[in-house]
Chain A
Amino acid sequence: MVDRPLNILIAGVGGQGSLLAGDVLATAAVSHGYRPVVGQTFGAPRRGGSVLTHLRFSDIDLGPLIPYGKVDVLIGLELMESLRAAISHCGLKTRAVVSPIRVHTAATLSGEEKYPEEGAVLDSLASICGEVYDLDRLSELDKALASRSLNMYLVGFAAGLAEEQLPSKKVRKAISDIVSPPEPSLESFDNGLAALKTTRSYRSEI
């Protein structure tokens, strides 16, 4: 019997690799004896729209959507999408790891709307979530971005946060098993996991 389910929410924009990140974590969960349920959106919303992947690791088939406030770990692949997901699903028990990457919308590109300031987004996230980790734009993160494996960098960081319920070794193994080629993803995963040790949770200045 699992004490309590582990709920992980991945927020991003279509094309950022949230489906693969979800597959990796679900594969790891299976190897750790969970009955994972993964809720995904794909199809039309993937054409540059917001994408949420709900991961629910338990010993029964839970509903495919995480209830409000029950997210344990939020993986934010994109800054504003992290906040959108936090508003709809996160609470004080949520630990959020947030990428500094911004993907503009047509309206923010044209200047019709303003993409929110990073500080304001992080303050707002911190007012909703228990802990927020904003990733520094380290060279390792840029490297992950260049090798199109930013998703695995964040998965690495999140695996560290969820270590007690899902050993990061098993997540790493899942990458070797299902990502092809695994090398750049494994490197990003390792760098993300290592970044947890040097990243302090965000404290709002206000």
Chain B
Amino acid sequence: MIERGTSEVLMSGNEAFARGALEAGIGFCASYPGTPSTEITTTLMSLAKIHGVYVEWSTNEKVALEACAGASWGGIAAICPMKSLGLNVASDFLLNLNLSGSGPGGLVIIVCDDPRGHSSSNEQDSRFYSKASYLPQFEPSTCQQAKDVVPVALDISREYQIPVIVRSTTRLSHSRGIVKLEKVPKRKHSAAKDIPDDLYNVPSPHLRHRMLLDKLGDIAIEFSSSPLNSTTKTAGADTLIIATGVAHRYALEAASLFDSMSLEVANLVTSNPLPGTLLKEWLRGKKSVLFVEEVDPFVEEQVLTLCAKDDLSAIQFFGKHDGTVPSHGELNTDIVVDAVARSVGLDVELLGDTTPKTIEKAKALLVPRPPTFCTGCTHRNVYWAIRKIKQRLKDKLVVAGDIGCYSLGVFYEHAMDTMQSMGSGIGTACGLGQLHRFGFESKVIAVAGDSTFYHACIPALINAKHKGADVTFIVMDNATTAMTGFQPHPGSSIQEDGMVQMSLDRIVDAIEPDFFARGNAADIPDAIDLIWDAVQKDGLKALVFDSICRLEEQRLGVAYEDQAKVTVDIDNCWGEKCKICVAQFSCPALEWNEKTDHPVILEHECIRCGACIAVCPHDALKEE
């Protein structure tokens, strides 16, 4: 955070959410890391002791939400930050908790969507959960609002004793802006004497549903006068742009680029339930309306329904339903400018000055840059071993995978074949591993990381054992949640005070796989032998590889200077006709020198792990 004067600070959207939580008096936070939501919890964690807040990384988002509900039932205000896909995991509980109620403490869920899927396996709009669960929802558009909505959301949650959802997107969570701070009040959190009665929905969930809908009706009225919603109140404007979240800032900037007084821009922060009275006020006297929101036409469809009901059909509506705004991908100012120009027919000075031909010529020069394993990452070694096994099996090998740094296996000569949700590698392998009875000839490997193992693999692993699936399950255990920035999990070697380290081996062993071994991911020949040995056997084989995250290692201060340098023995190197080290192994520390026809070790990049030594079939890579 960058200070500006005493009370104005430059902070990210996620830091602002955390600050808002502290100002609101949150006492409990449970969460599972996931981009772009992670920093909300890490920020709270760094301030937890000072403010007497309990913060934990739970094993998954469902557990996190359940823990937060427990806290709220017990009278402690709770916040549960997660990414879009996390809410999918937690949704089973959410769609029960909404009816049971969250009790007196108050519970705010922050869900961070990732339009375009910059760091996600899908593109989804999580706002449909607010509809599905009949829960109030806020969509802040600036870092300032990100901070400001949290206390408001908590108040609503306490008043109506239901969870409240705050939706963010990557461009809010990960952008920085100036935030004016309020004081964090000194609070001593004390639990209620008891939890509320009737924290279950049976025998009449439908009546609970009715009660919740009644609450939602009251909240819609409250939202119609919420100071969070605003418009530019442009006098005489006949076109209204209704925008939510960060898209509101694109709409504002787009409107400013048109030299026109006909555009009014509205920021709808309370997007569920729709504040009908306010919307009708905004729509009065308008000839056309354009909706600008990230991913789905969430507000758009609700407003269209509202207008059909109240015969506002004289207004011409533009948005995703008619293709004015794209229904997939991430928005930006240019897209909004284009949408305004096409729908309302306003002229605008062209933003770019280059001709399409220049751009086409420039684009032809570009080479795509997919993310890669870091230098020395032991995941590369394990996938190298898997590639070797795949060759031996003449491609009769399916590798089912899921979510983590090891997902990059899909970009590594397709060493990983599938990737959906947390734990879905071993889950889909439960099906694939039964197909031999139908003539499926491929061997099946499922891969997982250690944090993913604790998150979602255990039920599927039990299923695989119970049903006798023919699967080799590989855990690449680097003892941290690497992809999201090294958050500890139950198996991490370094644990906070009061938390115990769990043994992944003992958990796997308790499931009694037909074969179980621990391997060393730093030793490629050993890894190849071990995996080859396992895939030959029948039944459930479990392999846990001791793996190393080099970023974590460097973060903890490991230096590589005292390790032996790796050098190229030019006499042994076969040059272009081999080139396995550079062309196939693809470590960023190895480059090909066209002139000498040999590889070069990039000293500033190499961490001297020596993995490439075993990859060279001609003994041309050596320790110095």
Contacts and interface: CB of A to CB of B under 8 A. Distances in A.
Contacts of A121: 365
A70 interface: yes
Contacts of B359: 87, 128
Interface stretch (B313-321, B348-356, B616-624): B348-356
Interface string A111-155: 111111000110011011000000000000000011000000000
A64 B590 CA distance: 36
Given A26-B2, A106-B411, A111 B176 contact: no
B512 interface: no
B351 A91 contact: yes
Which among A36, A44, A49, A145 has the greatest number of chain B C-beta atoms within 10 A?
Answer: A44
A63 interface: yes
Given A61-B144, A65-B171, A67-B333, A36 B253 contact: no
Contacts of A87: 359, 362-363, 366
Contacts of A125: 362
Contacts of A39: 171, 174-175
Contacts of B361: 124, 127
Interface in A11-64: 13-14, 23, 26-27, 30, 35-50, 61-64
B7 interface: no
Contact of A67 (B253, B370, B582): B253
Contacts of B411: 106
A15 to B, nearest CB: 8
Contacts of B483: 43-44
Given A63-B246, A63-B253, A116-B367, A47 B372 contact: yes
B354 A107 contact: no
B11 to A, nearest CB: 10
Contacts, number: 187
Contacts of A178: 2
A110 B412 CA distance: 12
Given A70-B351, A84-B366, A110-B582, A44 B371 contact: yes
Nearest to B583: A110
Contact of A91 (B35, B118, B353): B353
Nearest to A145: B604
B189 interface: no
Given A42-B35, A69-B353, A109-B586, A124 B370 contact: no
B280 interface: no
B591 interface: yes
A41 B35 CA distance: 10
A7 to B, nearest CB: 11
A48 B605 CA distance: 12
Given A42-B174, A110-B583, A105 B365 contact: no
A66 to B, nearest CB: 8
A62 B253 contact: yes
B352 A68 contact: yes
B10 A62 contact: no
Nearest to A49: B371
B286 interface: no
B586 A44 contact: no
Interface in B331-366: 332-334, 337, 350-354, 358-359, 361-363, 365-366
B374 interface: yes
Contacts of A194: none
Contacts of A36: 10, 176-178
Interface in B132-180: 142-144, 170-172, 174-178
Complex A-B, nearest 4 residue pairs according to Cβ-Cβ distance, in ascending order: A43-B35, A43-B119, A64-B175, A110-B583
Given A43-B36, A70-B351, 16 more contacts: A23-B2, A36-B176, A41-B174, A42-B119, A44-B483, A47-B374, A62-B249, A64-B171, A64-B246, A81-B369, A84-B366, A91-B352, A103-B588, A116-B367, A124-B365, A127-B354
